[in-house]
Amino acid sequence: MTAVLAAANGALFGVMSALSYGVERLGRRNVCGACGGMFAARFSFGVGFCGTVLRMRGARFPELYFVCLAAAGDLAREGVGVSVSAHGLCARTKGSEKIKLKFDFKKFFFKKPKNELEGSENGGEAKEQAEQGAIPEKLAEKCEKCGQIVLADDFAAHFGVCPKCGHYRKIDARARISMCFDEFNELFADEESGNVLDFPGYTEKLAKLRAATGEKDGVVSGYGKIGGIECAVFSMDYRFMMGSMGHTVGEKIAKTFEYAIEKRLPVVGFVLSGGARMQEGIISLMQMAKTSAAVAKHGEAGLLYISVLTDPTTGGVSASFAFEADIIIAEKGALIGFAGPRVIEQTIRQKLPEGFQRAEFIEEKGFADLIVERKEMKEKLSELLALHCAEANA
Amino acid sequence: MSAYDIVLKSREKGRPTAVKYIENIVEGFIELHGDRRFADDKAIIGGIGRIGGMPVTVIGIEKGEDTADKIAHNFGCAHPEGYRKAVRLMKEAEKFRRPVLCFVDTSGAYCGIGAEERGQSEAIAMSILDMIRLKTPTLSVIIGEGGSGGALGLCAADEVWITETSTYSVISPEGCASILWKDSGRVADASECLKLTAGDLISLGAVEKVVPEEGFGEAFYAKLKEDIAVFFRKQKDVPAERLVENRYRRFRKF
């Protein structure tokens, strides 16, 4: 088995070298969109290649794919078989799923590709496509923190925590909900708003993000069950301008609390936000007051609100519903604070100490009830809910 | 006047600060200090006095007048204890159904190590939450800069008024330009885009009334005092639950 892999790796090296030649000819299109690894003439294995399958940018090779390979040995150790076929390059994952990669040698070697600057018939379109999702499949990923190669499946199995260094990756709103909820029904999914202040460039930005994420804005809300207890939930999404709060986010969160008041449900809120969305100006500031008012009303109705502060929770969101909960959970390692560390460093003109504004610091200073690891979040939430919602258990 | 001119005007040296307003509008003001938890934050001053004979709790974010005074008041950038003091005074006012008047003038809440250690976020969040549910009439007047969460902490009121050349914004135009366009030179553009002037704020419904400044003369204070007294007299007849519900609606509409 090892011998086969070694042979495959050897063959791969040859093809990848050829590819790197091609990539170089394509001018500046030589950076892996996932790990930032460079394909260059001085190409060698082991530097920053992450296993992502990439589509070649540019219109000339709409069907040309190549694999951004982590140190081939690394992948082999993880049990990824790699083989080369006559048409080009094939990589096989641990399971049976096979990604077929077409590689047209004839086209590749005998036609001169045009680069972006030379302009091609539909180069612009292809570029757009490439930017919006040129990565059809991932075999393995590089951990942003330790730089080690981790199989994508492994990341998923560990709830987005690097199995090698324990780094917490950001996870999107729906993944977060499905990680903790046994049952989930979405509410207010159609809620969306436009460019309220006609802020330059904001309409385009919204459209682009909506297309890229499939979400209308930075929060998903609804109701569901954790450990058999029904509760309303909202979960913020880092992919949408780092969960910044504009009208839609504020409205959906306020509506979640109002729904919970009507149905007499506790609210669990997964908070992730860089703060207010400045493109919505004063309207975004008003969302802080609006959501706070809804939290207060929910609280006065004698209902429980648990906020889970994840990385990052800062700015206007931290100064409103994030810190207004009955129970405040901080996810391990999360950055939580009013001003971002860079702003503080600029203001006080000194370097901040290690661990400043991290979950552990917040707990030590008395502003979080408890720190919970991601893998234990569901269990902790269901225990806390059960303690508050006695009738649900009776 | 362009939006940026107004931004500059709102920060102008010599512009009356909260203390001036209190001197001219509030009779027999007695200052009350401290949050009873950590310290007395001089960036926020508070106390009780009378307006047209009616006892009123007054809270103001004070920037300071000359340099020494500015340093003493931390340039109007409050720490968590400032907001906690404000909440304490508001709760005391609520107990005796005394109206609460806030003068707001800050570039924002303070960003620093101590502020973070003592929970700036939590302090502002609870200030908004408690103020928005307060069972007594409240009014906030923005008299210079209404900077972001630091201002909102004292603006969750029945009505928010603003003087002609004041601003109210989610972020400073400088911050906006440098974050969004990586170009701090585009402050004027950012000022325009953020819609932070009194006129814009009225049309967006973020403030109820623009107070003409008339060179901050005697007539200005007299008129403002009269308007405040009339407003509170009207609000005092509204049942507490109604006040809270109206306030909920005021903010819910955004």
Inspect the interface and report whether the beta carbons of A338 and B128 lie closer than 8 Å: no
The Cα of B59 is separated from the nearest Cα of chain A by a number of Å equal to: 19
Q: Is there a contact between B169 and A352 if contact means CB atoms under 8 Å apart?
A: no
The confidence score (pLDDT) of residue A138 equals 66
**What is the rounded average pLDDT of the residues B162-184?**
92
pLDDT of B119 above 50: yes
Q: What is the pLDDT of residue A22?
A: 31
Q: Assess whether pLDDT exceeds 60 at residue B98.
A: yes
- Note the pLDDT of residue A119: 36
Q: Are residues A202 and A140 in the same domain?
A: no
One domain, residues A207 and A350:
yes
Tell whether B239 is within 8 A of chain A (Cβ). Answer: no
Burial A94-117 (b: 16+ CB within 10 A, else e): eeeeeeebebeeeebeeeebbbbe
pLDDT at B182: 86
In this structure, the answer to whether residues A132 and A251 fall within a common structural domain is no
Beta strand B54-61 pairing with B100-106: parallel
To 10 degrees, the CA torsion angle through A192, A198, A200, A205? 10
Angle at A88 between CA A85 and CA A90, to 5 degrees: 65
Q: What is the pLDDT of residue A153?
A: 84
Residue A137, pLDDT score: 55
Closest residue in A to B169 (Cα–Cα): A282
Which of A278, A280, A362 would best serve as a mutation to test chain B binding (most B beta carbons within 10 A)?
A278
- Please identify which residue in the block is written with the tokens 């201002």: B151
Which residues from chain B sit within 8 angstroms of residue A315, using beta carbons?
Answer: 149
Q: Is residue A165 a part of any domain in this protein? A: no
Residues A126 and A194 in one domain: no
**What CATH number should be reported for the domain holding residue A187?**
3.90.226.10
Q: Select the residue of B111, B155, B196 nearest A281 (Cβ to Cβ).
A: B196
CB B75 within 8 A of CB B17: no
Taking an 8 Å cut-off on Cβ atoms, the answer to whether B169 and A296 are in contact is no
B201 found inside a domain: yes
- Using CA coordinates, name the residue in chain A closest to B155: A289
B252 in contact with chain A, both atoms CB, cutoff 8 A? yes
Residue in this structure with the two tokens 């982590």, named with its chain if needed: A70
**Are residues A74 and A188 both part of a single domain?**
no
Q: What is the CATH number of the domain that holds B98?
A: 3.90.226.10
Which of B121, B196, B243, B247 to mutate to test binding with chain A, by most A CBs within 10 Å of its CB? B121
Range of the structural domain that residue B225 is part of: 3-249
User: What is the ipTM metric for this complex?
Assistant: 0.96
CB atoms within 10 A of CB B251: 22
**Is residue A194 located within the same domain as residue A147?**
no
Residue B240 touches chain A, beta carbons under 8 Å: no
The residue out of A102, A122, A155 marking a domain boundary is A155
Of B179, B180, B251, the CB nearest to A290: B251
CA distance A377 to chain B (A): 23
Task: Name the residue of chain A whose CA is nearest to B177's CA.
Answer: A278
- Residue A102 pLDDT: 40
To probe the interface with A, which of B77, B90, B122, B244 has the most A CB atoms within 10 Å?
A: B122
Residue B170 is nearest to which of A247, A281, A322, comparing CB atoms?
A281
In chain B, which residue's Cα lies nearest the Cα of A340?
Answer: B111
Kindly state whether residue A192 falls inside one of the protein's structural domains.
Answer: yes
Residue of A nearest to B197 (CA): A282
Among B126, B149, B195, the residue with its CB nearest the CB of A324 is: B126
Q: Is the dihedral of CA A159, A162, A166, A169 positive or negative?
A: negative
In this complex, the residue of A280, A318, A348 whose CB is nearest that of residue B112 is A348
Tell me whether residue B231 is in a domain.
yes
Question: What pLDDT is attached to residue A350?
Answer: 86
Least Cα distance to B83 among B64, B102, B63, B56 occurs for B102
Copy the structure tokens of residue B12.
């102008």
B224 in contact with chain A, both atoms CB, cutoff 8 A = no
Residue B254 domain flag: no
B126 touches chain A (CB under 8 A): yes
Among A278, A284, A367, whose Cβ lies nearest the Cβ of B119? A367
Q: pLDDT value at position A89?
A: 36
pLDDT at A349: 86
Q: Which parts of chain A sit beneath pLDDT 50?
A: 1-29, 32-136, 393-394
Sheet holding A81-85, edge to edge: A81-85, A88-92, A98-102
Q: Same structural domain for residues A347 and A221?
A: yes
Considering the domain architecture, whether residues A73 and A188 belong to the same structural domain is answered as: no
State whether B132 and A293 contact (CB < 8 Å): yes
Residue A391 has a pLDDT of 61
Q: Is residue B110 part of a domain?
A: yes
Question: Measured between beta carbons, which residues in chain A are less than 8 angstroms from residue B175?
Answer: 278
Q: Which domain holds residue A207?
A: 170-393
Write down the number of H helices and E strands in chain B: 12, 8
Q: What is the pLDDT of residue A156?
A: 85
Distance from A134 to chain B by nearest Cα, in Å?
A: 26
Are A144 and A205 contained in the same domain? no
Nearest CB partner across the interface for A296, out of B133, B170, B176: B133
Residue in B with minimal Cα distance to A363: B117
Q: What is the mean pLDDT of residues B11-31?
A: 95
pLDDT at site B204:
95
- Return d(Cα B229, Cα B108) in angstroms, integer: 28
Interface contact B117, partner A, CB < 8 A = yes
Alpha helices in chain B (DSSP H): 3-10, 18-25, 67-72, 80-95, 113-117, 120-132, 148-152, 173-180, 187-193, 198-204, 218-236, 240-252
In a domain, A164, yes or no: no
pLDDT tens digits, A7-36: 444 444 444 433 433 332 233 445 544 444
Which two structure tokens, joined as six digits, stand for A6?
Answer: 């070694």
Does residue B19 carry a pLDDT above 80? yes
* CB contact (8 A) between residue B152 and residue A285: yes
Q: Does residue B38 carry a pLDDT above 70?
A: yes
Q: Say yes or no for a CB contact (<8 Å) between A337 and B120.
A: yes
Among A101, A120, A155, residue at a domain's last position = A155
Contact A370, A363 (CB under 8 A): yes
Residues of chain A positioned with their CB less than 8 A from the CB of B111: 338-339, 343-344, 347-348
| Number of compact structural domains in chain A | 2
In a domain, A270, yes or no: yes
Does B132 contact A296 at a Cβ distance shorter than 8 Å? yes
**Between chains, do A279 and B180 touch, taking CB under 8 Å as contact?**
yes
If you measure CA to CA, which chain B residue comes closest to A345?
B112
Mean pLDDT across chain B, nearest whole number? 95
> Which DSSP helix (H) or strand (E) runs through B55?
strand B54-61
Partners of residue B126 in chain A, C-beta under 8 Å: 323-324
- Residue B23: its pLDDT value, please? 96
Contacts of B128 in chain A (CB under 8 A): 288-289, 292, 319-320
Which residues of chain A does B82 touch, with a Cβ-Cβ cutoff of 8 Å? Answer: none
B-chain CB neighbours of A257 within 8 Å are none
How many domains does chain B divide into?
A: 1
Q: Which pLDDT score is estimated for A20? A: 37
Q: Are the C-beta atoms of A37 and A68 separated by less than 8 Å?
A: yes
Question: A212 with A150, same domain?
Answer: no
Most B CBs within 10 Å: which of A259, A271, A292, as the mutation test of the B interface? A292
